[in-house]
A and B are shown apart, each in its own frame.
Chain A
Amino acid sequence: MVGIDRRLLQNVDWPLLGATVCLVALSATTLATLSVGRAGTGIALRQIAWFGLGLIALLVVASIDYRRLVRIAPMLYLVGLIVLLTLFVFGRTVSGARRWLLVGPISVQPSELFKLCFVLMVVWLLSTRWAQPVGKAVLVVAAPLALVPAVLIVKQPDLGTALLLFPVLIVLLIAAGMRLRILGGLVLMGLAAAPLAWIALKDYQRDRILVFLDPLRDPLGRAYNVIQAKIAIGSGQLLGKGVAGATQSRLAFLPERHTDFIFAVFAETWGFVGCLVLLTCYALLLLRGFDIAASTREPVGRLVALGVTALVSTQVLVNVGMVTGLIPVVGIPLPFMSYGGSSMVVSMMALGLLLSVRMRQFQ
């Protein structure tokens, strides 16, 4: 498919990979301390297996020239949309949401994979000659690119993933040179449309927002997650309770503790100091991503690197922000930490794209 010359290997970003390995190691140890359902400690091993698979995906993606991927982006995007549509027919329902598609023995979450297709698609649009200079016309075309899949994903329902698409789009538009004034107008329009969105939201989604505004509304119901997560994090204090003492997690007071709320488990176990270590890893990873985007003079590569970094950044910030009670609860996994095959493989593929840009920035 591609020839990998020595020059490419020399430019592999080892700090980026190092931070990732650290995060996966922390994830595995945290999962190992949780005995979730029948899976038991096997869940940690499975996470490592997913990481292995993700590593292969990373190598494959990194070895392909990202420009070729951008070239076929419209096709990838279309296929992605079709898969999202078929979910409504063949989707596997877990706890009321049709997010999964059975592929052989494993269930895949197509919306995860679609996020990368979306990034490539937006980059493709912005790098066409038609789009220069990036202005209102581009916005008119780009907005439906995000809206259509967002509606499909919201209907699964998976509000978190759907909302992810918009920050990524905005970041890419800005980076491509769109004037901030135009985007400012867009944001104002969005605010004006907020009441309409409120009507469109499902009851439980509205509840989540209300509960964020007033956690005591329903302490045993909707706000339970938020309260228990705060208790878990807070009770970790400076140095944490250790594996044996992390009662919030071990005694199952914390919901979804191996997936969306894994940060709370980690915070309870290792305390503020542990959190600093974890967040340093993420900072290293994300700033490295921005560094790649900044140091690449090739415009397509820069947009790909920035789009991917924006995607991962948003996920990290939204997840940790919601678990620590800074923003309302939206179901988004914490990249590399939360248990889940799709999330792990897609995050690794995102890194693959970053590496791909990095390795080719001096060509």
Chain B
Amino acid sequence: MNLGYLGGPMPGRPDPGRRRVLAFAVIVSVALLTIVCQLWYLQVLEGGRFQEASDKNRIRVRPIAAPRGILFDRNGLPLVDNRPAFTLSLIPRELDRDPVQRDVTLGRLASLLQIPFADLQDAVAKVSPDSILPVRVRRGLSMDDVAKVEEWKLELPGVIVEVEPQRAYPNSRFAAHLLGYVREASDEQLKGGRYRRGDMVGQTGLERLLDEFLRGKDGGERIEVDAMGRQIRLVQSTEPHPGAQVITTVDRRVQEVAEKAMEGKAGAIVVMDPRNGDVLAMVSTPSFQIDRFTGTIDRNAWLRVMQDPNHPLLNRTIQSMYPPGSVFKLVVAAAGLQEGTLTPSDRVSCQGEFQLGTRTFRDWKKEGHGSVDLMKGIRDSCDVYFYNAGLKVGAPSMAKWALAFGLGTATGLDFGSEKPGLIPQPKMSRKGKPVSWHAGETVNMSIGQGQVLVTPIQVARMMAAIANGGVLWKPRLVQRIERPEKGVVWGDAGSVTGHVDLSPVVFAFLRQSLWAVVNDGGTGVAARIPGLDIAGKTGTAQTVANSKSEKGQDHAWFAAFAPVKDPEVVVVVLVERGGHGGSAAAPIARQIFNTIFLEKVAFAAFGG
């Protein structure tokens, strides 16, 4: 810049004012250079940081939660569905960096929605402050809460309301044990590294077993917003991938009827297809309100369920072990017939009690059954007959065939913690005699008492084997899993876990006897449906524990299949402390058969 004296020199006349003017020019130039330095610092040296800040200003990440896969019954009816629910989430990256300011925001939120302030702080403290993934703080917001948050949006940076699909059930207790509940990943589950905080994870039942298939992949949107937080445009969008669809073997209609039949009772029902092991229904009562367990349950409600003396969380079909009672007589009969220690024509005179040394074993019928052969022994469930038979067959043989029928071993349902049950096996000395085993134990075992413990699902598998001629199917709950774009990603054709090697004649005899139990004046007459050949066995298992139940101390069993020719369905009913199997359990089985064979029965009833 030429600051020269343009007006022409005037030699000899000093001009002090001009020097002062030039000094000001220098001052202004220095100031301008300072500004250039500041711009260099802001734009070039720190530019990247400010670019990031600018993006953070305008870009908001909005997750789109993927819906969880839906479970269908065998006929395509949904067992569980999704409905949209509002979830309050914090996005750590969009929260204020300054801890004081951040706490102001959280405090505002806490008082707005009456959430404990500490909860919010904890939730934020557990994740990286740079995370753009939402921290889900509260699920199931009411419309009022949503409106409040929207209204205060500008004062709540980093706080969003997500629409998240949540589980919806046909009714509050429907198939609670079978489906299982879905909740946020626990601290322990988070340790495994497979889940993020706030993820919904199947905690029990099929939801847990199939969690990796059912959980979808969340999508998200990157949107540009203005200073008021209004959306300006969509920068990027990733579609959520819903979880896979699961086609189960369950028949919703049967499940509902079975649940209804068990209302107010404690116990279990298993309905199974003997031809392939398909589980059509699986009921355990008392049940729990599955919809209240979804999302965030308050601590008190949780404790109430956990401490309930009736153990509603227990899946009694697989996790409770009961003495099989008279149902076990089928094992004794099968063992004796197969090994020749019993014949159908062996007769015993029953006077209502049986003497072994100094001990007296009673029959359930005080006056006795009179002269009893094997078929009548099964039909009328004569205890005295089987005390004798048990001694003839022997404990080792009974144990061997019980195990062959799959009693005392888990069915392999991979479903929570399945209990194996127990079949006592006397230790043998070198001479082949049982060691430390009393004959009284053999007598007890022959009517399914003593140490014998089974689960309802094992009994169902055994009945299926009797019905289908000896095939032990692994119970199947899931037919296949499908993804919308990929088709079937997992399938189960059913698997056979063993064979019961009994002669066909023995099976035929057992089926004939079981038919008589229901249809020829036996103990299971309460299950009879005219026009349908049902075969079944009652059981009344004595328990040691005291109970205030009016009906007594005994668990009632009824294990059945139908039709006798080409059996299609096995039904096992157990009513805890229900009394006699014939009176407490058999009518429930009848209702289930009625539902399944409704058309057939109606057809027969009208004389077709």
Name the segment of B32-40, B161-169, B408-416, B596-604 touching the other chain: B32-40
| Total number of B residues with any Cβ neighbor in A under 8 Å | 49
Residues of chain A within 8 A (CB-CB) of B98 are: 216, 219
CB pair B6–A291 under 8 Å, yes or no, is: yes
Q: State whether the Cβ of A175 lies closer than 8 Å to any Cβ in chain B.
A: yes
Having A234-B50, A238-B43, A326-B38, one finds 9 other A-B pairs with CB under 8 Å, namely: A175-B24, A231-B50, A234-B43, A234-B53, A235-B53, A253-B58, A271-B43, A287-B3, A306-B24
Evaluate whether A253 and B6 lie within 8 angstroms (CB atoms) in the complex, with A291-B1, A297-B15, A317-B31 already known.
no
Shortest C-beta distance, A306 to chain B (Å), equals: 6
- Whether, in the assembled complex, A110 has its beta carbon less than 8 Å from a beta carbon of chain B, the answer is no
A242 to B439, CA, bound (A): 97
Residue in A220, A313, A326, A361 whose beta carbon sits within 8 Å of that of B28 in the complex = A313
B264 close to A (CB within 8 Å): no
Interface: B22 (CB within 8 A): yes
Do residues A251 and B22 form an inter-chain contact, with CB atoms below 8 A? no
Which residues on the A side are within 8 Å of B1 (C-beta)?
283-284, 287, 291
Assess the A251–B58 pair: CB atoms within 8 A. Answer: yes
Q: Is B57 interfacial (CB-CB < 8 Å)?
A: yes
Contact assessment for A320 and B58 in the assembled complex, using a CB-CB cutoff below 8 Å: no
In the complex, the answer to whether B24 meets A290 with C-beta atoms within 8 Å is yes
B210 at the interface (CB under 8 A from A): no
Check A302 against B44 for contact (C-beta < 8 Å).
Answer: no
Interface centre among B54, B101, B226 (most CB of A within 10 A): B54
Residue B49, interface by CB 8 Å:
yes
Chain A residues whose C-beta falls within 8 Å of the C-beta of B54 in the assembled complex: 231-232, 234-235, 247-248
**Does any Cβ of B come within 8 Å of A16's Cβ?**
no
Q: CB of A141 within 8 A of chain B?
A: no
Does B606 sit at the interface, judged by CB under 8 A?
Answer: no
Q: Are A252 and B50 in contact (CB under 8 A)?
A: no
Chain A 197-241 interface 0/1 with B at a Cβ cutoff of 8 Å (1 = within)? 000000000000000000010011000000010111111111000
Query: By the criterion CB–CB under 8 Å, are B7 and A361 in contact?
Result: yes
B58 touches A290 (CB 8 A): no
Which chain A residue lies CB-closest to B10? A297
**Cross-chain pairs A/B with CB under 8 angstroms, 29 sampled:** A175-B24, A177-B17, A219-B96, A219-B101, A232-B54, A233-B39, A234-B49, A234-B50, A238-B44, A247-B57, A248-B54, A251-B226, A251-B232, A253-B57, A253-B227, A272-B43, A275-B36, A287-B1, A290-B28, A293-B21, A295-B6, A296-B7, A309-B24, A310-B24, A320-B35, A325-B38, A325-B42, A362-B7, A362-B8
A294: shortest Cβ distance to chain B, in Å?
4
CB-CB contacts of A246-270 with B at 8 A, as 1s and 0s? 0110011100000000000001000
For the complex, count residues of A whose C-beta is within 8 A of B.
55
Contact: A279 with B32, CB < 8 Å?
A: yes
Q: Which 4 A-B pairs have the closest CB atoms?
A: A234-B50, A237-B47, A235-B54, A290-B25
Which one of A175, A234, A267, A324 lies within 8 Å of B17 (CB-CB)?
A: A175
Chain B residues near A286: list those with CB within 8 A. Answer: 25, 28, 32
A317 touching B32 by the CB < 8 A rule? Answer: yes
In chain B between 505 and 549, which residues have their CB closer than 8 angstroms to a CB of chain A? none
Q: B576 on the interface (CB 8 Å rule)?
A: no
A258 to B168, CA, bound (A): 53
B47 contacts A238, C-beta separation under 8 Å:
yes
**Given known contacts A219-B101, A287-B1, A251 and B43 CB-to-CB distance under 8 angstroms:** no
- Whether A279 and B44, one on each chain, are in contact in the complex, defined by CB atoms closer than 8 angstroms, is no
Check if A191 is an interface residue, CB within 8 A of chain B. no
The one of B2, B43, B58 in contact with A236, judged by C-beta atoms closer than 8 angstroms, is: B43
Whether B340 sits at the interface, judged by CB under 8 Å, is no
A291 touches B3 (CB 8 A): yes
Chain B residue nearest to A180 in the complex (CB): B20
- A62 to B138 alpha-carbon distance, docked (Å): 71
Q: When each residue 298-328 of chain A gets 1 if its CB lies under 8 Å from chain B and 0 otherwise, what string results?
A: 0100100010011001000100110011100
Minimal beta-carbon separation of B19 from chain A (angstroms): 9
Assess whether A276 is interfacial by the CB under 8 Å rule.
Answer: yes
Q: Are A253 and B226 in contact (CB under 8 A)?
A: yes
Q: Which residues of B contact A228 (CB under 8 A)?
A: 57
Nearest A residue (CB) for B47 = A237
| Interfacial chain B residues near A295, Cβ < 8 Å | 5-7
Complex CA–CA separation, A305 to B226 (angstroms): 45
B51 lies within 8 A of chain A by Cβ = yes
Contact A272 B44 (CB under 8 A): yes
Give which listed residue, A216, A272, A299, contacts B40 with CB less than 8 A.
A272
Answer yes or no: A282 CB below 8 A from chain B CBs: yes
Q: Which of B15, B25, B96 has the most CB of A within 10 A?
A: B25
The answer on a CB contact under 8 Å between A171 and B40 is no
Q: Are B32 and A283 in contact (CB under 8 A)?
A: yes
Residue A182 lies at the interface, judged by CB distance under 8 Å to chain B: no
Q: Which of A176, A233, A276, A299 contacts B36 (CB 8 A)?
A: A276
Inside 8 A of A216's CB, which chain B residues have their CB? 98
- A276: nearest chain-B partner, CB-CB: B36
Q: CB-CB < 8 A to A325: which residues of B? A: 38, 42
Q: Is A174 an interface residue (CB 8 A)?
A: yes
Of residues 153 through 212 on chain A, the ones whose CB sits less than 8 Å from some CB of chain B are 171, 174-177
Q: Are B22 and A294 in contact (CB under 8 A)?
A: yes
On chain A, the residues within 8 Å of B227 by CB distance are 251-253
Contacts of B228 in A (CB 8 A): 252
Is B225 interfacial (CB-CB < 8 Å)? yes
Contact A235 B29 (CB under 8 A): no
Shortest CB-to-CB span from B228 to chain A, Å, is 7
Q: Which residues of B contact A248 (CB under 8 A)?
A: 54, 57-58
Interface string of B471-502 (1 = CB under 8 A from A): 00000000000000000000000000000000
- CB of B224 within 8 A of chain A? yes
Q: Which of B2, B42, B224 contacts A251 (CB 8 A)?
A: B224
- Chain A residues positioned under 8 Å from B17 (CB to CB): 175-177, 299, 302
CB distance from A328 to the nearest CB of B (A): 15
**Could you say which residues of chain A place their CB within 8 Å of the CB of B53?**
231, 234-235
Nearest-neighbour CB distance to chain B for A324, whole angstroms, equals: 5
Q: Which residue of A lies closest to B6 (CB)?
A: A295
> How far apart sit A293 and B24, CA to CA, in the bound complex (Å)?
11
Determine which residue in A236, A252, A291, A294 has the highest number of CB atoms from chain B within 10 A of its CB, and name it.
A294
Assess the B39–A272 pair: CB atoms within 8 A.
yes
Most buried by B among A216, A220, A234, A275: A234
User: Considering residues B17, B21, B47, B48, which has the most beta carbons from chain A within 10 angstroms of its beta carbon?
Assistant: B21
Q: For residue B358, give the distance in angstroms from its CB to the closest CB of chain A.
A: 92
Say how far B260's CB is from chain A's closest CB, in angstroms.
59
Q: Residues of B contacting A175 with CB < 8 Å?
A: 17, 20-21, 24
For A283, the chain B residues whose CB sits under 8 A away are: 1, 29, 32
In B212-264, which residues have CB < 8 Å from any A CB?
A: 224-228, 232
